[in-house]
A = this chain, B = another copy of it.
Amino acid sequence: MSEAAIKYRLIKKEKHTGARLGEITTPHGTIQTPIFMPVGTQATVKSLSPEELKEMNAQIILSNTYHLWERPGDDLVAEAGGLHKFMNWDRPILTDSGGFQVFSLAKLRDINEQGVNFRSNLNGAKLFLSPEKAIHIENNLGADIMMSFDECPPFFESYDYIKKSVERTSRWAERGLNAHRNPKTQGLFGIVQGGGHKQLRQQSARDLTAMDFAGYSIGGLSVGESKSEMNHVLEFTTPMLPENKPRYLMGVGSPDALIDGAIRGVDMFDCVLPTRIARNGTCMTSHGRLVVKNAKFARDFRPIDENCNCYTCRNFTRAYVRHLFKADETFGLRLTSYHNLYFLINLMKQVREAIKNDELLDFKEAFFEQYGLNVANPKNF
């Protein structure tokens, strides 16, 4: 038996697309792919309990290294017995490296070969993050799957800048791999960057696949480029990645992007989208987005989605959920958060089923049509 923390098994490839049915074995259980992973930024998936996440069949959740490092501190989490024990979640966890947050949230960055100097977005304190430091924090957190510390440059940055950045990200990846203390209990993924440039994606993938990573993430997408640009990059990037390792598209959570990503051979997805829009009263339904706060739902006693079998839809009406939002009651955002996560988790279950039956393109066509995506300028993305 191999001693690797993470193992990927390819069960089958879909006949007409690049989609893969697979499973990933981790120290906290085996997950079925393609999969959507709910995000628990601060060691909690906003408003929901671990039991509710299990009830909706969340197989793995994500948490954020940068946020936990700042608060409550990775040393405190380690003292609690690790992130699983701290938040009472006994299924797999994935942590990012903090890289994305450093580049999206922090102020006054200074990047050099050693790492990044920046200011805390909580309190303005001077902070420094390097590949070694990020891996040290992730080792303290103890997630099943960890990410390398990378630079995530803007999609439309110059070729020259992105080339230099990719090369540094590769050097950082190697340093992280060397710093990793728990390879038997935590698997480390490399992150392929390269913006929209095939040549740079190729360079990044070649560098990283030459090292022994447990899986490969595709970073630098869903950062402002169009859906078709993203799909184009995925189209040429996933074939650069080894078949026997999982592939994770970071920060993507709209239903169409999940289906399009799976078609192009992506196994794992995460995004705050479903819980973020839920807090605003926006629900994903089989007929597109529904803003339950709208006045027209005041006396609508149907469930949020008549085709949905989630806790919220089985027990509560649009009128009641709308009332909770109008009255500023947190139970409202519990109900919409539950519904949206269930929707995406259930969507990926249908995607896996469609791969099994070699009918993923038919499934996509029917889903897009019903969701309202087959119009000229779809609003309900």
Residues of A within 8 A of B (CB): 42-44, 46-50, 67, 71-72, 76, 79-81, 86-88, 298-299, 301, 315-317, 319-320, 322-324, 326-327, 329-331, 333-334
Contacts and interface: CB of A to CB of B under 8 A. Distances in A.
B323 A71 contact: yes
Contact of A330 (B47, B67, B72): B47
Given A88-B315, A299-B79, A317-B80, A323 B72 contact: yes
Contacts of A49: 331, 334
A48 B301 CA distance: 21
Contacts of A333: 330
Which are the 9 A-B pairs with shortest beta-carbon distances?
A72-B323, A42-B327, A44-B331, A88-B315, A47-B330, A44-B329, A330-B330, A86-B320, A42-B329
Contacts of A67: 327
A319 B71 contact: no
Contacts of A322: 72
B71 A326 contact: yes
Contacts of A334: 47, 49, 330, 334
Nearest to A88: B315
A174 to B, nearest CB: 34
13 contacts: A43-B320, A43-B323, A44-B324, A44-B331, A46-B329, A46-B330, A50-B315, A72-B298, A72-B319, A76-B299, A79-B299, A80-B317, A80-B319
B320 A80 contact: yes
Contacts of A330: 46-47, 330, 333-334
A330 B45 CA distance: 10
B47 A301 contact: no
A362 to B, nearest CB: 37
A123 to B, nearest CB: 12
Given A46-B329, A299-B76, A327-B42, A320 B71 contact: no
Contacts of A327: 42, 44, 67, 71-72
Contacts of A47: 330-331, 334
Contacts of A71: 323, 326-327
Given A46-B331, A72-B327, A86-B317, 5 more contacts: A42-B323, A44-B327, A72-B326, A80-B301, A88-B315
